[in-house]
Amino acid sequence: MIEIRIHGRGGQGSVAAAYLLASAAFEAGFTCQAFPSFGAERRGAPVTSFVRIDSVPIQLRAQIRAPDFLIVQDDTLLLDHGITAGLKPGGAMLVNSGRSAEDVEKAFACRAFCVPATAMAIEEIGKPIPNTALLAGFLALTGLLPPAALAAALKGRFKGDTLAHNLTLIDRAAAAVPQGLWKEPADA
């Protein structure tokens, strides 16, 4: 079972990101579970969401305490050093940020990569919603699911221009990361 914890702020689509990743896993033939943890229900407040991907039915309902991967939608959340709590040894963190990966790796003593997903999203979809770009980058880094699975999940959720622009965005974000860099923890 692969466990992914997504950290974001209300309005950035952290719950949608979890649902899209679970849908993509389903499209690729895996079992999946995605759910949010709400605190204060308002824009800007920290939101955490969780995704489990497996090949057998998933029974566990607990929040993810020892994730294989972290996806961080807002780099101001890195001010809380507890964000990597429980990250498995060898696990990795993808951050929506213009910072250098080395900088984040040094600060958190874990594997990390940064993608300027908000800037990409503004250019491609006209909105500062980084979730789909981050998911595309995450899947390219890990090779966890084929890119077509994410595209299929997007087609199940969006229509028209929103879909078209997001499909362009995920291609661009996937190309912006080293393919398969985190394949080894994803396979384990």
Partner 1 sequence: MREALEGSLAIARAVALCKPDVVAAYPITPQTHIVENLSRLVAEGEMHTEFVSVESEFSAASVVLGAAAAGARAYTATASQGVLLMAEVLFNIAGLRIPLVMTVANRAVSAPLSIWNDHGDSMAVRDSGWIQLHCVDNQEAVDTTIQAFRIAQETELPVMVCMDGFVLTHTMEIIDMPSQEEVAGWLPPFDFARKLDPTDPKSFGMLVTPEYFAEIRHAHHAAMTRALPVIDQIDRDWAALTGRSSGGLLEVEGDPAAEVGILAMGSTVGTLRAGMAAHAEAAGPARIIKLRAFRPFPAEALREAVKGLKHLIVIDRAISPGLGGIVGTEVAAVLADMADRPRIHNHAIGLGGRDIPETIYADLMAAIRDPDAPAFSVFDVDLEKLAPEDR
Residues lying near partner 1 in the complex (CB under 8 A): 15, 18-19, 22-23, 25-27, 31-36, 38, 41, 58-63, 65
Beta bridge partners of 46: 9
How many other C-beta atoms are found inside a 10 Å radius of the C-beta of residue 179? 11
Please list the residues that pair with 52 across neighbouring strands. 3, 33
b/e 78-98 (16+ beta carbons within 10 angstroms → b): beeeebbeebeeebbbbbbbe
* DSSP string for residues in 49-83: EEEEEESS-----S--SS-SEEEES-GGGGGSGGG
